[in-house]
Amino acid sequence: MTTVIDPPTVEQAAGRVFDPAWHHDTYPSYQVLREAGAFVPGPLGMRLVTRYREIDAILQDPAWSHAEERELMHPDSDGSDLPTSFLWMEPPDHTRIRRLVSKAFSARRIEATRERCRGLVDELLDAAITAGEVDLVEAIAYPLPLTMIAELMGVPAADHGAVRSMSYWLARGLDPDILLSPEEVEKRKAAARGFRAYFTDLVARRRAEPADDLISGLALAEAEGDRLSADEMLSTLVVLLVAGHETTVSLISGAFHALMRNPDQYAALQADPDLAGPAVDELMRYCTPSHLTTRRAVRDTEVSGESFAEGDGVIILLAAANRDADVYPDAERLDLARYARGARPARHLGFGRGHHYCIGAPMVRLEVELLLRALARRAPRMTALADPPPYRPNLIVRGIQELRVQLSGR
């Protein structure tokens, strides 16, 4: 006998978006919300934006600002624990800082890490296959991007564990304070204080003795005319660490899970390893790590006939937009060749859009493409030992907490 599960109501679907108990199965709720309309009532008097067309328009429209998200998420913060980063700025401040970061976080610097990344991928995959049964989050999804961004920044290997702990709580701290327990808020604040102390010291050391790393590059860019204040330097490093690490952890673990649930796509990757490049975009669309963001209207405006007054806020459901069937044919299907075809599907919103487009996207592409190519070459058999796996409680940067699998070679 087949059990028929009724879809959630619009109100239930809106609630499940913010409920950690549903992180493993949010997409049916997104479908209900998209069908209900481009704009649906949400929490805090804000409207949920559910469809690609409207989200894409808002992200590129200067009538909408990202600058107030920090105050919205952390209304009681005095700024001492989480300094304002360029992630929460608008031009001209955002433009100035992003230009400085781009000088240090250059394509040349990222490309120079290719062989190191390839070797690390092989090392981690070798160890996982040898172990046989592993948690892929701990075995590969965490150490790959953590090691790469920490080395790129110039963090000594002995300190990677401490940086990971701080990064975890800083990523958790991106969520609204009202969704965190008092203990979690304190851990976020402690992580921020620890980050401030650690990187203040490391920045000072790199200024005194520059090395070939990102922190030295930021200090050099600062010395060439424009300046980052102490807080701007620290908050920029927070963004690079969290965006260059935590989101990639979620993408990699989601990619492993998606390939195990879609063995035809894993077989296609094995048959054609050159799918690895375009597959990164499809996995970003299908397993979007950052599910939502916010914007606030800086003037009276209109989107697709919906009116907004100055000061109105919206919650943008990026992951819902990436499964919008009006934009992506067969949107609920993982298709690693989707971005390899001549039809050129719509750009996914996994890296954002407009002037807040993810500055670390080239690093993510490099890491995940090399991992997919290694998987295709080695072709290990992967069997999930728990499905669905447990998910982290994080609202914004979502991902699998533990992904235990049985691995074997060819």
pLDDT in tens, 222-254: 555 566 777 788 888 887 887 768 899 999 999
3-state secondary structure the chain: CCCCCCCCCHHHHHHHCCCHHHHHHCHHHHHHHHHHCCEEECHHHCEEECCHHHHHHHHHCCCEECCCHHHHHCCCCCCCCCCCCHHHCCCCHHHHHHHHHHHHCCHHHHHCCHHHHHHHHHHHHHHHHHHCEEEHHHHHHCHHHHHHHHHHHCCCHHHHHHHHHHHHHHHHCCCCHHHCCHHHHHHHHHHHHHHHHHHHHHHHHHHHCCCCCHHHHHHHHHHCCCCCCHHHHHHHHHHHHHHHHHHHHHHHHHHHHHHHHCHHHHHHHHHCHHHHHHHHHHHHHHCCCECEEEEEECCCEEECCEEECCCCEEEEEHHHHCCCCCCCCCCCCCCCCHHHCCCCCCCCCCCCCHHHCCCCHHHHHHHHHHHHHHHHHHCCEEEECCCCCCECCCCCECCECCCEEEEECC
Whole-angstrom Cα distance, residue 229 to residue 224? 14
Q: What is the pTM of this model?
A: 0.90
Residue in 312, 304, 351 with CA at minimum distance from that of residue 57:
304
Spell out a b/e string for 5-27, using b for 16 or more CB atoms within 10 Å of the CB, else e.
eeebebeebbebbbeeebbeebb
pLDDT at 299: 96
Spell out a b/e string for 74-85, using b for 16 or more CB atoms within 10 Å of the CB, else e.
beebeeebbbbb
pLDDT at 7: 82
pLDDT at 50: 98
CB 350 within 8 A of CB 290: yes
**In the chain, where the domains are located:** 49-278+353-408
Is 49-278+353-408 a domain of CATH 2.40.110.20?
no
Q: What is the pLDDT along the chain (410 residues), one digit of tens a residue?
A: 444 467 899 999 999 999 999 999 999 999 999 999 999 999 888 999 999 999 999 999 999 998 665 565 555 555 556 555 545 556 666 677 777 777 767 888 889 999 999 999 999 999 999 999 999 999 999 999 999 999 999 999 999 988 888 888 877 767 777 777 888 888 888 888 888 899 999 999 988 899 989 888 887 765 555 667 777 888 888 878 877 688 999 999 999 999 999 999 999 999 999 999 999 999 999 999 999 999 999 999 999 999 999 999 999 999 999 999 999 999 999 999 999 976 678 899 999 887 777 888 899 999 999 999 999 998 789 999 999 999 999 888 899 999 999 988 76
pLDDT at 2: 46
Edge-first strand order for the sheet with 39-41 is 39-41, 47-49, 313-317, 292-297, 64-65
